[in-house]
Amino acid sequence: MYNQFEFHDRKCSLFKLNYSTTENETIGVALHKTHGREERPYNLYSTKEPTFDFLVTLHPRDGILIIPYAEIPSNPNWPGYLADPAQFDWSSGWKNRWDLLGHDELRGKSLESRVIPTKSQLPKLSSETLNRLSTLHIV
């Protein structure tokens, strides 16, 4: 599903945000800070000062994307910052790149579990976590 939002900043500049994941085309990953000063560019991650080594996120269909910080696209509106959302090809070469984390023997293998436990102590939270395809940062 593709969602597009338009807004104007305080200086009346028009911005379009594409929080998009389009099936079989692109995967969109929101990459902004949720603490501190929550306005652009202060809530974006710098391209020059890595905050984490890899972006790790579930692929919408299967597998896990493991993307080195230096390979995350830059923001077209804010030079020197990461894109928000960062977009990757659906058939990205970063899928299941366990070798980047030192596990050469697991490269290309899907290791994630998408089964929601029936006996979870927090079944609603387990379901929501899986459905939102949470993004993890590995430092």
Q: What is the pLDDT of residue 30?
A: 86
The residue whose two tokens read 């379901």 is 127
Q: Give this prediction's pTM.
A: 0.72
**Tokens describing residue 134:** 């949470």
**Tokens describing residue 14:** 């028009």
Q: What is the pLDDT of residue 129?
A: 58
**Per-residue pLDDT for the chain (139 aa), expressed as one digit of tens each?**
333 434 444 444 444 444 568 888 999 988 888 888 889 999 999 999 998 999 998 888 889 999 999 999 999 999 999 999 999 999 999 999 999 999 999 999 998 877 766 677 776 665 655 555 444 444 3
Per the structure, how many domains does the chain have? 1
Q: How far apart are CA 18 and CA 122, in angstroms?
A: 32
Domain of residue 39, residue span: 4-138
- Terminal Cα distance for the chain, rounded: 30
The residue whose two tokens read 């993004």 is 135
Q: What is the pLDDT of residue 119?
A: 73
**What one-character DSSP code corresponds to residue 25?**
T
Q: What is the pLDDT of residue 61?
A: 87
